[in-house]
Amino acid sequence: MSDSSAIAQGAVAEAGTPHGEHPPYQRHHFESMDQQADATNFAMWLFLVTEVMFFGGMFTAYLIYRNWYYPAFVSASHQLSIVWGTTNTAVLITSSFTMAMGVWCAETRRKSGLVLSLVLTLLLGLVFLGIKSIEYHEKWEKHHVPGLHYSMEAFLNPASDPAVFKEYHDKPMALDMARHTELYFFLYFAMTGMHALHMIVGMAILIYIIFRARAGAYTSGHVTFVENFGLYWHFVDIIWIFLYPLLYLISRHQ
């Protein structure tokens, strides 16, 4: 037995029954459950602030380059499907709703409701990534993935891409502007890719939470973990709420 655990055991022995006065999940370095919940919540929010800064850098880059290479960004964004984008926004908002319902089920100790909400959240996350992969695949087939046999054909000669040309009637672009469309797609993949990575990480944690929830872990009063995961999931939703208009919507008429 190491010294520190011996000391810890001694302290417990001194205090008598260690969990008599407070819930068993209250850490002993906190004065009260109130304090523990506030500290944990604050820590989660601080993490989300760093995430805001992380995505903020990419949003700023998009803002600057869109101003510099405006015609290229406008034409390149015409390649995105507003139908897929809107569908995915609805899917993600619905997943945020099921996640919020999961937090409510945990708070009100409804075990089967919690598991159902979390499973629905996971499924909606999968639908989102499925739709995203359909979009990515289309970019791949059209050679719009930057760096990998990137093709400017759709911008030098818009009529070569009849489906998009029919809707937007873009004029042919000079080569020195058309090459900046690659920058749009770089930022598109960087931003939606980092967003998708956050969803994949979130879904991995979600699977773990589902297993723990089935064992009744979050429906006996200690909801902190589910609650803070909910904050993360809603944050990822917020990032998409901004990506959707910036990438899909604002350049439709120029």
Partner 1 sequence: MSDLKEIEEAQHHVVSPKIYAIIAIALLVLTATTAGVSYLELGEFNAVVALAIAVFKAMLVVLFFMHVKYSTKLTKFTVVAAIFMLMGLISMTMADYMSRAWGRW
Minimum distance between the CB of residue 148 and partner 1, rounded to whole angstroms? 29
Please identify, using beta-carbon distances, which residue of 145 and 247 lies nearer to partner 1: 247
Minimum distance between the CB of residue 209 and partner 1, rounded to whole angstroms? 17
Beta-carbon contacts of residue 238 (< 8 Å; ≥ 6 apart): none
Please identify, using beta-carbon distances, which residue of 102 and 158 lies nearer to partner 1: 102
Burial 40-54 (b: 16+ CB within 10 A, else e): beeebeeebeebeee
Minimum distance between the CB of residue 49 and partner 1, rounded to whole angstroms? 4
CB 103 within 8 Å of CB 213: no
Please identify, using beta-carbon distances, which residue of 65 and 186 lies nearer to partner 1: 65
6, 11, 12, 23: residue in contact with partner 1 (rule CB under 8 A): 23
Asked whether position 94 contacts partner 1 by CB under 8 A, the answer is yes
- Between 141 and 180, how does the x/- string for binding to partner 1 read (CB under 8 A)? ----------------------------------------
Q: Which stretch binds partner 1 (CB under 8 A): 123-131, 138-146, 156-164, 237-245?
A: 237-245
- Using CA atoms, how far apart are residues 44 and 224, in angstroms rounded to an integer? 10
Q: Which stretch binds partner 1 (CB under 8 A): 86-94, 144-152, 157-165, 202-210?
A: 86-94
Q: At what angle do helices 33-68 and 181-214 cross, to 10 degrees?
A: 160
Question: Measured in Å, how far apart are the chain's first and last C-alpha atoms?
Answer: 73
CB 188 within 8 Å of CB 247: yes
Is residue 237 exposed (0-12), middle (13-18) or buried (19+ Cβ within 10 Å)?
A: buried
Q: Quickly list DSSP for 158-177.
A: GGGSHHHHHHH-PPP--HHH
60, 112, 133, 157: residue in contact with partner 1 (rule CB under 8 A): 60
Q: What is the largest CA-CA distance in the chain?
A: 83
**Cα→Cα distances 28→19, 35, 43, 167, 228, Å:** 9, 11, 18, 64, 21
Please identify, using beta-carbon distances, which residue of 101 and 145 lies nearer to partner 1: 101
Query: What single DSSP character describes residue 245?
Result: I
- Using CA atoms, how far apart are residues 2 and 5, in angstroms rounded to an integer? 6
Looking at the chain, which runs of residues are DSSP E strands? Answer: none
Residues in contact with partner 1, counted by CB under 8 A, come to a total of 53
Minimum distance between the CB of residue 235 and partner 1, rounded to whole angstroms? 8
Q: Interface residues for partner 1 in 198-227 (CB under 8 A)?
A: 221, 223
Asked whether position 197 contacts partner 1 by CB under 8 A, the answer is no
Which residues of the shown chain bind partner 1 in the complex (CB under 8 A)? Answer: 22-23, 32-34, 37-38, 41-42, 45-46, 48-49, 52-53, 56, 59-60, 63-64, 67, 82, 86, 89-90, 93-94, 96-97, 99-101, 104, 107-108, 221, 223, 230-231, 234-235, 237-238, 241-242, 244-246, 248-250, 252-253
